[in-house]
Amino acid sequence: MLTSPHPSDLSARLRLWRSRRRVSQLELALRAGTTQRHVSFIESGHSVPGRELVIRLAESLQVPLRERNALLLSGGYAPAYDETPYDGPGLGAIRTALTGILEGHPPYPAVVVDRRGDLVLANGAFHAMTTGVSERLVTPPVNIPRLLLDPAGLAPRIVNFGPWAWHVIDALTREAAQNPTPESDGLIEELIALVPPRPEPPGHLGFAVPLCLRSEHGDLRLITTLTRFGTAVDVTVAELRMEAFPPADEQTAEALRVMDSTSPA
C-alpha cells in the first residue's frame, strides 16, 4: 500500500497495465469513454484523473480487482473493492454455493483454488485421486500445481508427465504475465526444477493434452475445465477459480465411478 500517493505512481502503473494488455492509448481511450490526449496526459503525469475515470480505465484494461485498488491508492483515492475474508460471515452465501457446486461434480474430481493456486475447497473425488501423496503436500496451505508436479505428489503416477507438466507451467506463466502475484515467479521456478526438459518434437502443437494418470482401477484420461466468477466485485471472490477434471473417455468415467463408490464417505 502506498502511503504517499503521487501522480507519477498512477501514471507508471497505468502504462504498465496498458503495455501488458497490448492496448494503444487510442483504443484505451475509446473503451474508457475519454480521449487519447487525456490518456497521454495521464500517463505522462501532466493530468490527474478523477476516481471514476481511474475505475473506467482499469476496467477497460481488465485489471484484476486487487490491482484496481492499488491503482486507486496510487492516485490518492480509497479502494473501490472490498476484500472479505473467505471464512468470514460476509461470504457465507459464496461458500455455500461453491460447496454445492463441488458436491455436484462427483465422481469427477474438482477443487476451488485462490490466486496462488492454494486449495480452498475440494470434493471427495479429488481426495480419492490424491490418496497416498506425501503428507507435507496435503498440509495446509496445499498448493495444487505443487501437489500435481512434485515427485512426492502425483508426478510418479502421471503417464505423460513431461508434456503435461509443461502444460501446467505454461498456463501458470501466462497467468503470471496477465495477473502477476509476488509468489508466481517463485512457484514457476520451483516447478521448472522438478520437471524434465521441455520436449518439443517436430510438428509440436503445444501441451493442451489430457492428464493421463495411473490408478488401481486403470489409467485415467482427464481433461481440465476452469471456471471463474465473471461478475465478482469482491477481491477474494474474484480471485477464486474452480478446476474440474472430467473424464476424456468412457473407460475413465467408469473408473471414476468405481473409485467414488469404494472411497470412504
Q: Give the pLDDT score at 261.
A: 77
Instruction: Report d(CA 212, CA 164) in Å as an integer.
Output: 8
Confidence tier at 207 by pLDDT (50, 70, 90): low
Instruction: Report d(CA 241, CA 211) in Å as an integer.
Output: 19
Mean pLDDT of the chain: 90
pLDDT of 263 > 80? The answer is: no
Going by C-alpha positions, the residue among 188, 190, 241 that lies closest to residue 64 is: 241
Q: Could you tell me if 229 and 93 are in contact, meaning their C-beta atoms sit under 8 angstroms apart?
A: no
Is 78 buried (19+), middle (13-18) or exposed (0-12) by CB count in 10 A? exposed
pLDDT of 30 > 60? The answer is: yes
Lowest mean pLDDT among 26-30, 51-55, 257-261: 257-261
Residue with the bigger pLDDT between 40 and 5: it is 40
Q: Could you tell me if 26 and 33 are in contact, meaning their C-beta atoms sit under 8 angstroms apart?
A: no
Instruction: Report d(CA 41, CA 248) in Å as an integer.
Output: 52
Q: Give the pLDDT score at 198.
A: 84
Backbone angles phi, psi at 143, to 5 degrees: -95, 120
User: What is the mean pLDDT of the segment spanning 23-39?
Assistant: 97
**How much is the pTM?**
0.86
Q: Give the pLDDT score at 2.
A: 41
pLDDT of 137 > 90? The answer is: yes
User: What is the mean pLDDT of the segment spanning 243-263?
Assistant: 89
List the domains of the chain with CATH numbers. Answer: 7-74 (1.10.260.40), 89-262 (3.30.450.180)
